[in-house]
Amino acid sequence: MRRRLRSAAVPVHRHALPQIALDAGLVALAYFLSYQLRFDEGAPERYQQLLDRSVTIAVVGSILVFWAFGLYRHWWRYASQRELLRVVQAVFVATLLTVGGIAVLDPAYVNTATGFEGVSPPTGVIALFFLLTLTFTLAARWVVRLFYERPVGSYRPRRGARSVLIVGAGEGGRLVLKEIMRNPDLGLRPVGFVDDDPRKRGLRIAGVRVHGGTGRLTRILDDVEPDEVLIAIPSASGALRAKVVSACRARGVPVRTLPTVFELLRGGGRMVRQVREVRVEDVLGRDPVRMEVERVGEYLSGRVVMVTGAGGSIGSELCRQIARVGAAQLVLVDHAEDNLFAIERELIEDRHVLNVAAVVADCKEEERMREVFAEHRPAVVFHAAAYKHVAMMEANPVEAVRNNALATRVMARVAGDAGVHIFVLVSTDKAVAPATVMGASKALAEWQVEAACHRHPDTVFTAVRFGNVLGSSGSVVPIFRRQIANGGPVTVTDPEMTRYFMTIPEAVQLIVQAGSMARGGEVFVLEMGEPVRIMDLAEQMIRLSGLEPGRDIAIQIVGARPGEKTHEDLFNAYETPVVTEAARILRADRPRLNPEWVEETFDHVGLLVLEGDATRLAAEVAELALVRVPADAAAAASAASSNGASEETPIAHVDPGGPVTVREPT
pLDDT value, residue 632: 39
As a whole-number percent, the residues of the chain with pLDDT over 70 amount to 81
Handedness of CA 350, 476, 297, 378 (dihedral sign): negative
Rounded distance between C-alpha atoms, residue 579 and residue 134, angstroms: 58
Write out pLDDT tens, residues 79-109.
667 777 888 999 999 999 988 888 888 777 6
Taking Cα atoms as reference points, which of 284, 252, 188, 258 lies closest to residue 545? 252
Task: Provide φ and ψ at 251, rounded to 5°.
Answer: -110, 10
Write out pLDDT tens, residues 1-43.
344 434 444 445 556 788 888 999 999 999 999 988 888 777 7
Side chain identity, residue 279: R
Side chain identity, residue 221: L
Residue 645 CB-density burial (10 A; 0-12 exposed, 13-18 middle, 19+ buried): middle
- Those residues whose C-beta lies under 8 Å from the C-beta of residue 141, and which sit 6 or more positions away, are 76, 79, 83, 84, 87
Write out pLDDT tens, residues 311-349.
998 999 999 999 988 899 999 999 999 999 999 999 988
Q: What are the residue ranges of helices labelled H in 418-489?
A: 437-455, 476-485
Rounded distance between C-alpha atoms, residue 498 and residue 568, angstroms: 7
As a residue count, the chain comes to: 666
Side chain identity, residue 360: V
Write out pLDDT tens, residues 473-493.
667 877 888 888 877 888 998
Taking Cα atoms as reference points, which of 474, 519, 463, 524 lies closest to residue 499? 474
Q: Does position 457 have pLDDT exceeding 90, yes or no?
A: yes
| 468 SS3 class | strand
Rounded distance between C-alpha atoms, residue 141 and residue 66, angstroms: 14
Q: What is the 3-state secondary structure (H, E, C) of 574-624?
A: CCEEEECCCCCEEEEECCCCCHHHHHHHHHHHHHHHHHCCHHHHHHHHHHH
Rounded distance between C-alpha atoms, residue 150 and residue 376, angstroms: 58
Write out pLDDT tens, residues 282-305.
555 555 556 677 788 889 999 999
Write out pLDDT tens, residues 166-218.
998 888 888 888 888 877 777 888 999 999 888 888 888 878 889 999 889 99
**pTM to 2 decimal places:** 0.59
- Those residues whose C-beta lies under 8 Å from the C-beta of residue 274, and which sit 6 or more positions away, are 258, 259, 263, 264, 267
Task: Provide φ and ψ at 587, rounded to 5°.
Answer: -120, 135
pLDDT value, residue 233: 82
Long-range contacts of 72-75 (CB under 8 A, 24+ apart): 72/11, 72/12, 72/13, 72/16, 72/19, 72/20, 73/11, 73/12, 73/13, 73/16, 74/13, 75/13, 75/15
CB 303 within 8 A of CB 328: yes
Write out pLDDT tens, residues 231-288.
888 767 767 777 888 888 788 888 887 765 444 444 444 444 445 555 555 555 555 5
CB 330 within 8 A of CB 305: yes
Rounded distance between C-alpha atoms, residue 74 and residue 11, angstroms: 9
pLDDT value, residue 450: 92
